[in-house]
Amino acid sequence: MTQIPTTAPAALYSDIAIIGAGPAGLSLALCLAGSGLNITLIDQQSRASIAEPAMDGRDIAMNHESRAILQQLGVWQRFPADQVHPLKDAQVVDGDSPYALHFERNDDADAPLGYLVANHRIRAALYQQLQQHDTIQLLTETRVTAVHSNAADGVVELQTPQGPASLRASLIVAADSRFSAARRMMGISARMKDYGRVMMVCNMEHQHDHQHTARECFFYGRTCAILPLGPKQSSIVITTPASRAQELQNLDAEIFAREAEAMIGYRLGKMTLISERYSYPLVGVMSQRFVGRRFALVGDAAVGMHPVTAHGYNLGLRSADTLAGLIIKAHQQGKDIASRSLLLQYEMQHKLLSQPVYEGTNLVVRLFTNDNPLAKVARKAALRIGNNLKPFKQQVTRRLIQQR
């Protein structure tokens, strides 16, 4: 991987400029790495922060298609085997009821539904693989001050450690989070959904075996998820109003562990906190458009998901894979890699994939966080109908697995 010179010139050129070196931006760069195109990644972080990201508490559920894409990119092989945790069963529980909606594989009893990998390990592996490609440049500690485009190219105005600079590119891609500044600079609006909750995540050891089962427990006023990690270790995800999250954050570790045991209905027995507690505000985003003139959105900049259905990174990786596939095909045919027709094709494909998932997730969140008596009845009915409606279970399970 080529590094930008320490004295950045006033003008730079790249075939594709990617704003944001998070998981989506790094994934897109790798998807394009063998194309022969020159790629520039731009990020405000230092190179050290990108190379060795700190643990942030988040464990990412990945389906089989995501695994296949990352294997093809040479990234999956970089995960230590003991840090890839299989998901063999998934359950949805309403309140204190012992009844659960199950999703398990019937086609292959030995194969998992998916896999859990820590977010910071994914980012580190993506960066490590990036080092193998000299057509990718990484411009760090650099702030984007403006983005605009014309019929010929796109322009990213930069503030680098060496001063102002301008980067021209045939295509500009924003991968700078669900609160994308680049998206706003290009005049693209987005539907923001503030769920009025904070997600607290931490890792805990526990007395009972998790049996590689993910559980989503919906209680009135809060949601608790159990994501199985190593032997008798799980990631606990608590979704609650901000005031309650702050209370939990301030609790002594022992008292917090007792609270966590009660929140998940004592399903794992005695628990011990083994990590910091991390909190994130929950905001969903669906961009009104995914493309502009010589401009595209990938990852959370296009669609930012509520974590309840665990589709976030899977959709982000699919957006990168889809866009890269169209770009590489156009480049091989000698066509414009940022033509209007190409970008509209990308938008259509990714919206067809992501919009039903986004709207469906929001419907689940509304139903299972509504304390209205009718909603409570509907929740219990939905779980029983879902368990007994085989086509529904098969469809959901196929979406969870997403095999190529």
Tell me the residue length of the chain.
404
Whose CA is closest to 56, among 118, 126, 127? 118
pLDDT of residue 195: 84
pLDDT of residue 98: 59
pTM of the model: 0.88
Q: Which residues pair with 18 in a beta bridge?
A: 41, 173
Determine the Cα–Cα distance for residues 168 and 146; give it in Å rounded to an integer: 12
pLDDT of residue 241: 86
Q: Is the dihedral of CA 330, 335, 338, 339 positive or negative?
A: negative
Q: What angle do CA 197, 347, 26 make, to 5 degrees?
A: 70
Q: Which residues pair with 14 in a beta bridge?
A: 169
Q: Are 327 and 319 in contact (CB under 8 A)?
A: no
Determine the Cα–Cα distance for residues 185 and 381; give it in Å rounded to an integer: 46
pLDDT along the chain (404 residues), means of 10: 46 91 97 95 96 94 94 97 92 63 58 91 97 93 96 95 94 97 97 89 96 81 86 93 88 95 90 96 94 97 82 91 98 97 98 89 64 54 51 47 52
Determine the Cα–Cα distance for residues 344 and 338; give it in Å rounded to an integer: 10
pLDDT of residue 115: 94
Backbone angles phi, psi at 390, to 5 degrees: -60, -45
pLDDT of residue 136: 94
pLDDT of residue 245: 86
**Helices (H), ranges, 99-241:** 119-130, 181-185
Backbone angles phi, psi at 271, to 5 degrees: -125, 155
pLDDT of residue 11: 55
User: What DSSP character marks residue 109?
Assistant: T
Q: How far is CA 7 from CA 4, 44, 328, in A?
A: 8, 17, 31
- CATH number listed for the domain at residues 2-59+122-191+284-366: 3.50.50.60
CA 76 from centroid of its chain's CA atoms: 16
Residue with token string 């866009």: 323
pLDDT of residue 397: 45
User: What DSSP character marks residue 322?
Assistant: H
Backbone angles phi, psi at 256, to 5 degrees: -60, -40
User: Max Cα separation, the chain?
Assistant: 65
Dihedral (Cα; 166, 28, 225, 211), 10-degree rounding? -150
Determine the Cα–Cα distance for residues 211 and 195; give it in Å rounded to an integer: 31
CB atoms within 10 A of CB 277: 20
Determine the Cα–Cα distance for residues 8 and 112; give it in Å rounded to an integer: 48
